Amino acid sequence: MIFLSFAKEIERQGFDHYNKLADATRVREIAGLFRYLAREEKRHCEIFESWEKGSALPPVENSGISKHAAKAFEILSEHFKTAGVPAINHDDAYEKALEFENKSIRFYTEALNGNEVSDESQRAVLESIIDQEKSHARLITSLMEFQRHPGEWIENAEWRHAEEY
């Protein structure tokens, strides 16, 4: 199935990109978030591999990324208050990560709306993956905002507003 080949490739690219971002940053909290995102992309790829083999699809579990992100932003805000802006300037890499997330959201949504996915359990799994990808996109957007305006971001927002998936 062409859909599954593309889906696995999107997830592999995301996995590789997040691991490169984690390796490139010296900020432990942000590197941890990128490793977490990489693990989620790997898990999505494994789900698509099971789907391709005709195996029973595992449930897409709530990963708790919102709690991890909230804690990371709390620590980052404390670092900002005491030591200034953390060295997290990865504009192009963040843009690329957001592009991966948005690409997967569009692709999976089109698959749901088209004839790619007819089995109800597959539809449910894909809907859950879309929700996770949306959470990833919100996290990347929050990282970008924090990077651009850390003092303003700390005063006006916390990453606790995102719902769990």
Largest CA distance in the chain: 54
In the prediction, which pLDDT does 31 show?
86
In the prediction, which pLDDT does 49 show?
94
Sequence-separated contacts (24+) of 33-37 with Cβ below 8 Å:
33/68, 33/69, 33/72, 33/139, 33/143, 36/63, 36/65, 36/68, 37/65, 37/97, 37/136, 37/139
Q: Under a CB-based contact definition with an 8 Å cutoff, are residues 91 and 147 in contact?
A: yes
In the prediction, which pLDDT does 15 show?
96
**Within a 10 A sphere around the Cβ of 69, how many other Cβ atoms?**
24
pTM of this prediction?
Answer: 0.81
* Count: domains in the chain: 1
| CATH code, 56 | 1.20.1260.10
Structural domain boundaries enclosing 14: 2-161
Q: Which residues of the chain have pLDDT under 50?
A: 85-87, 157-165
Which burial class, exposed, middle or buried, applies to 6 when counting CB atoms under 10 A from its CB (0-12, 13-18, 19+)?
Answer: middle
Which burial class, exposed, middle or buried, applies to 139 when counting CB atoms under 10 A from its CB (0-12, 13-18, 19+)?
Answer: buried
Q: How far apart are CA 4 and CA 46, in angstroms?
A: 11
